[in-house]
Chains A and B, each alone.
Chain A
Amino acid sequence: MRGKWWVVLGLLVLGVGVALGQEFPRQETLYISGAAWGPPTDWNPFITWSKANTSGTVGLIYEPLFFYDPLKDTLIPWLAEYGQWKTDQLFEVKLREGLTWQDGKPLTAADVVFTFELGKKYSTIYYSPMWDYLASVVNVGDYYVEFSFKRKPLYQEFVNNLYNIAIVPKHIWETRTEEEITSGANANPIGSGSYKYFAHGPDRNVYIRNEEWWGIKLLGLKPAPKYIVEIRFATNNLALGALLKGEIDLSNNFLPGIATLAKLGYVKTYLPEPPYMLSANTAVLFLNTTKKPLNDPAFRKALAYAINVDAIIERAFAGLVAKASPTALLPHLAKYVDDELVAQLGFTYDPAKAKAILAVAGYKDIDGDGLVEAPDGSKIYLEVTCPFGWTDWMEAIRVISESAQAAGINVVHRYPDYGAWNTALVTGTFDMTLNNWASLSNTPWTVYNLLFNHPIRDVMGSGNFGRYNNPEVFALVDELAATPPWDAEGVKAVCAKIQEILLTDLPMIPLWYNGLWAQYVEFTWTNFPGAYGGRPHWLPCTWAGYWQMGGFHTLCELKPAQ
């Protein structure tokens, strides 16, 4: 048949030109999924927004000075042997001796200095704002780096950067132009890490273990899998199917129905009982405070009481998430929550109270349709949105609109496409929308910087989407950023002030903790992390930025199943 020749021809076209190729032995390969949302495009550690698609770039291929363990809230010295504050404006890092790049060249203090100075040289490097307070980064010999500051640094941001900025080799990057550095693909990356780039396809990334990795000797750590194949499934159901069949070992996708499967023992999760998952970030309902009636604190408060968070957790997440603290802080930062304040000002689901607050503030149902009108008699119509296709959130905002309607507030849910949603979000043309863009970190500053990002600009790209304008809280967030990490009491005191404003004014409503989705099957690899049965305690997560927060250590704990 003629048709068959076409097939053969098509296949030949596919095969030609790809010289390198092989099959990975199952016993030596770890299959994971859940990090990438698009095809791999670059291995450039300076393009941060695309790192989800090649999440191993930072943590596996390139490494920062420190790792961070959110479960213990401690920094783990990595390329650095230690770091210490010599004065409150001078930070010294001592590098380990015997670090090497994957091309065999030694990694020295000069590489660290080069990396940080890129931020001084180019404003387009994401950490260039550091240089507002950074005076100089200099190396003393091959192993010591001194960070000196012009003024009191933003400690919280600085520490965060220590475990996020990947050190790059000077001898490779120094000849590149600004454009290459800030938007080049950096194919065939040479880092210092435990894994090397091996191959990629539109739906996968493959890493191979670096047998010459410095850490094998200096840290006594060796990750178990020789190959890591990270797969991007087009839909969650495919990831679920592959996991149940043991085709992938670790899934960091949000998988519906996992609670049931975990209960029956088909999959393992970090926690043995609901919510099964650790918390990764806080889902916050942003309210557009420039619009009526959302500019009225009483109305916002009523809304907070009207939303049935338990129903969201049950229906949209099948019990896989936990209710958020009204302060928006994640559980591992609970020591910065002012419990007294929460007891006094915190909100819970209480439709009767919501109605009472509305009545007192003058919102009454005039036309008898069961929905209140504004005090000036105008009708209320608010839309709550999330991008189409974000299925769990789609269900969540359905619950939000339903429970608001039940309390007499006319809220309607809408699912615009991602682009339209994003435009509305950053330009402040939405009414109410969900967002969770503050990732797990070492400091409460991260989430408060999302909630109260400032100053208010035309395009609010990284927080405060509802354009809540309160100089008092902005000053507090700046103060928090500048509070030294060793001053836990100081951090707590500033947090309490921020929390008081948050809870009184409710410019946005923290609802639940989005989970650190992680489920595993142990057909090929065992000893995945867990809070039970002698399992190791690490975040079992392969998302971008999480390799250095437990993901890599998870690899080191794995054992082959026999």
Chain B
Amino acid sequence: MKGEKGKKPKNEFLYFAWRNWKLRLGLAIVLFFVVLAIVGPRLTPHQPWAYVGPPARPPSKEFWFGTTMFGQDVFTQFVYGLYPVFLVGALGGGLATLIGTAIGFTAGYRGGWVDEILNTFTNVVLVIPTLALLLIIAAYLGVRSFFIQAVFIGCTAWPWTARAVRAQTLSLKAREFVDLARISAARPTKIILTEIAPNMLSYLVMVFILQFGGAILNAATLDFIGLGPTRGISLGLMMQMALLWGALPLGLWWWFVPPGLAIALLVGALYITNVGLDEIFNPKLREM
């Protein structure tokens, strides 16, 4: 994600934001799922694991998404499963953004040996395959929660962010306004807060969105392998249960299609939002 960034008048931003269909589409989908995650549990009288109907029924008026092999309501599991998606996405993605930004920024801004060490560290962690590491960490813990999962995902997903933020910082540091501030003997924190940070904000928003999506996918993978949280419900867990319980050969498509579709739609929408934002922040990319 490279590109020129500069301050834009607010109204211009909103104007382009509204005109950008990618942003509109992306945000609409994300918003839809947010609303569903909040309202959903209120729409259903059931609990996600409760046995409420006949087993293995296709979608009907009574059970919107059908029922599982045990007669649990798939719709209920689905809407309850959305909440942890956002929790892990926001927490894991947020943490990864935070760590990545802190490390990348420090490295880029301080330079010298600090940069050498941090950059080497980043590159090393970058090469280590995250999922293999996550699998092993997850296996350490006999009992796991969504919170722990999010923290671990956050702690392993930051390296590319650090690298990108470092590059951004380096390029910003070289700009005239920072030099001006430095000549005027401003303190480093002040330079960072007033000059560099605002210029990076738009960039960080986009990084966060990508991390958010990545955390969701990572969490779903862990859940699916059986190393997700040991309590509660999530979309990845639904897919795992469906596979374990013969939804494939028995043709219970309503059990495994919704959770995967929701993840793909949600994460896809996040990515599209990101492109939209990129186009807004970076006028050159707008369609002619």
- Write the B66-79 contact mask toward A (1 if CB under 8 angstroms, else 0): 00011100000000
Instruction: Tell me the residues in window 34-58 of chain B with beta carbons closer than 8 Å to chain A beta carbons.
Output: 49, 51, 55-56
Query: How far apart sit A237 and B245, CA to CA, in the bound complex (Å)?
Result: 6
- Write the B125-143 contact mask toward A (1 if CB under 8 angstroms, else 0): 0000000000000010011
**Contact between A315 and B71, CB atoms less than 8 A apart:** yes
Q: Which residue of B56, B71, B139 is within 8 Å of A257 (Cβ)?
A: B56
In the complex, A359 has a CB within 8 A of chain B: no
- Write the A397-435 contact mask toward B (1 if CB under 8 angstroms, else 0): 010000000000000001111011100000000000000
In the complex, A265 has a CB within 8 A of chain B: no
Q: Decide: A398 near B249, CB < 8 A? Known: A388-B226, A391-B244, A414-B231.
A: no
**Contact between A395 and B244, CB atoms less than 8 A apart:** no
Q: Which residue of B231, B245, B248 is within 8 Å of A256 (Cβ)?
A: B245
In the complex, A240 has a CB within 8 A of chain B: yes
**Contact between B70 and A237, CB atoms less than 8 A apart:** no
Measured CB to CB, the nearest residue on chain A to B139 is A417
Q: Decide: A256 near B69, CB < 8 A? Known: A240-B249, A389-B244, A420-B142.
A: yes
- List residues of chain B with CB within 8 A of the CB of A476: none
- List residues of chain A with CB within 8 A of the CB of B181: none
A242 to chain B, nearest CB (A): 8
Q: Decide: A417 near B69, CB < 8 A? Known: A237-B245, A257-B56, A257-B250.
A: no
- List residues of chain B with CB within 8 A of the CB of A318: 55, 69
- List residues of chain A with CB within 8 A of the CB of B142: 416-417, 419-421
- List residues of chain A with CB within 8 A of the CB of B49: 398
**Contact between B70 and A235, CB atoms less than 8 A apart:** no
**Contact between A255 and B246, CB atoms less than 8 A apart:** yes
Q: Decide: A237 near B244, CB < 8 A? Known: A315-B71, A398-B49.
A: yes
**Contact between A257 and B243, CB atoms less than 8 A apart:** no
In the complex, B120 has a CB within 8 A of chain A: no
**Contact between B230 and A416, CB atoms less than 8 A apart:** yes
**Contact between B248 and A241, CB atoms less than 8 A apart:** yes
In the complex, B247 has a CB within 8 A of chain A: yes
Instruction: Count chain B residues whose beta carbon lies closer than 8 angstroms to a beta carbon of A.
Output: 22
In the complex, A493 has a CB within 8 A of chain B: no
In the complex, A244 has a CB within 8 A of chain B: yes
A314 to chain B, nearest CB (A): 9
B70 to chain A, nearest CB (A): 5
Query: How far apart sit A391 and B241, CA to CA, in the bound complex (Å)?
Result: 8
**Contact between A240 and B230, CB atoms less than 8 A apart:** no
B206 to chain A, nearest CB (A): 33
Query: How far apart sit A174 and B71, CA to CA, in the bound complex (Å)?
Result: 58
**Contact between B246 and A237, CB atoms less than 8 A apart:** yes
**Contact between B244 and A235, CB atoms less than 8 A apart:** yes
Query: How far apart sit A415 and B249, CA to CA, in the bound complex (Å)?
Result: 26
In the complex, A470 has a CB within 8 A of chain B: no
Instruction: Tell me the residues in window 221-256 of chain B with beta carbons closer than 8 Å to chain A beta carbons.
Output: 226, 230-231, 241, 243-250
Q: Decide: A240 near B226, CB < 8 A? Known: A257-B56, A395-B70.
A: no
In the complex, A439 has a CB within 8 A of chain B: no
In the complex, A84 has a CB within 8 A of chain B: no
Query: How far apart sit A420 and B246, CA to CA, in the bound complex (Å)?
Result: 27
Query: How far apart sit A470 and B56, CA to CA, in the bound complex (Å)?
Result: 47
B252 to chain A, nearest CB (A): 9
In the complex, A236 has a CB within 8 A of chain B: yes
- List residues of chain B with CB within 8 A of the CB of A241: 246, 248-249
- List residues of chain A with CB within 8 A of the CB of B245: 236-237, 256, 391
**Contact between A257 and B230, CB atoms less than 8 A apart:** no
- List residues of chain B with CB within 8 A of the CB of A316: 70
Query: How far apart sit A511 and B231, CA to CA, in the bound complex (Å)?
Result: 24
Instruction: Count chain A residues whose beta carbon lies closer than 8 angstroms to a beta carbon of B.
Output: 25
B275 to chain A, nearest CB (A): 29
Q: Decide: A235 near B69, CB < 8 A? Known: A416-B143, A417-B139.
A: no
- Please indicate which of the listed interface residues B49, B51, B71, B249 has the most CB atoms of chain A within 10 Å of its own CB: B249
B4 to chain A, nearest CB (A): 37
Query: How far apart sit A256 and B142, CA to CA, in the bound complex (Å)?
Result: 27
- List residues of chain B with CB within 8 A of the CB of A244: 249
- List residues of chain A with CB within 8 A of the CB of B226: 388-389
Q: Decide: A315 near B246, CB < 8 A? Known: A257-B56, A417-B139.
A: no
Q: Decide: A414 near B230, CB < 8 A? Known: A257-B69, A420-B142.
A: yes
**Contact between A237 and B55, CB atoms less than 8 A apart:** no
**Contact between A240 and B250, CB atoms less than 8 A apart:** yes
Q: Which residue of B51, B56, B230 is within 8 Å of A415 (Cβ)?
A: B230
- List residues of chain B with CB within 8 A of the CB of A417: 139, 142
A108 to chain B, nearest CB (A): 50
**Contact between A237 and B51, CB atoms less than 8 A apart:** no
Measured CB to CB, the nearest residue on chain B to A392 is B245
Q: Decide: A414 near B143, CB < 8 A? Known: A315-B51, A391-B244, A395-B70.
A: yes
B198 to chain A, nearest CB (A): 47
B11 to chain A, nearest CB (A): 51
A493 to chain B, nearest CB (A): 43
- Please indicate which of the listed interface residues A236, A237, A318, A420 has the most CB atoms of chain B within 10 Å of its own CB: A237
B231 to chain A, nearest CB (A): 7
Query: How far apart sit A236 and B69, CA to CA, in the bound complex (Å)?
Result: 13
Query: How far apart sit A391 and B143, CA to CA, in the bound complex (Å)?
Result: 17
Query: How far apart sit A237 and B243, CA to CA, in the bound complex (Å)?
Result: 7
- List residues of chain B with CB within 8 A of the CB of A257: 55-56, 69, 246, 250
Instruction: Tell me the residues in window 121-179 of chain B with beta carbons closer than 8 Å to chain A beta carbons.
Output: 139, 142-143
B37 to chain A, nearest CB (A): 24
Measured CB to CB, the nearest residue on chain B to A421 is B142
- List residues of chain B with CB within 8 A of the CB of A235: 243-244
Measured CB to CB, the nearest residue on chain B to A316 is B70
- List residues of chain B with CB within 8 A of the CB of A398: 49
- List residues of chain A with CB within 8 A of the CB of B69: 256-257, 318
Query: How far apart sit A531 and B90, CA to CA, in the bound complex (Å)?
Result: 58
Q: Decide: A240 near B143, CB < 8 A? Known: A256-B69, A257-B69.
A: no
**Contact between B248 and A236, CB atoms less than 8 A apart:** no
- List residues of chain A with CB within 8 A of the CB of B247: 237
Instruction: Tell me the residues in window 195-251 of chain A with beta carbons closer than 8 Å to chain B beta carbons.
Output: 235-238, 240-241, 244
9 further A-B contacts with Cβ under 8 Å, apart from A257-B246, A388-B226, A415-B230, are A236-B245, A237-B247, A240-B246, A241-B246, A241-B249, A388-B230, A416-B230, A417-B139, A417-B142
Q: Which A residues form the contact surface with B (CB < 8 A)?
A: 235-238, 240-241, 244, 255-257, 315-316, 318, 388-389, 391, 395, 398, 414-417, 419-421
Interchain residue pairs A-B with the least CB separation, the first 6:
A420-B142, A241-B249, A237-B246, A416-B142, A240-B249, A240-B246
A-B contact pairs, 15 of them (CB 8 A): A237-B243, A237-B247, A241-B249, A256-B245, A257-B56, A257-B250, A315-B70, A315-B71, A318-B69, A388-B226, A388-B230, A391-B241, A417-B139, A417-B142, A420-B143
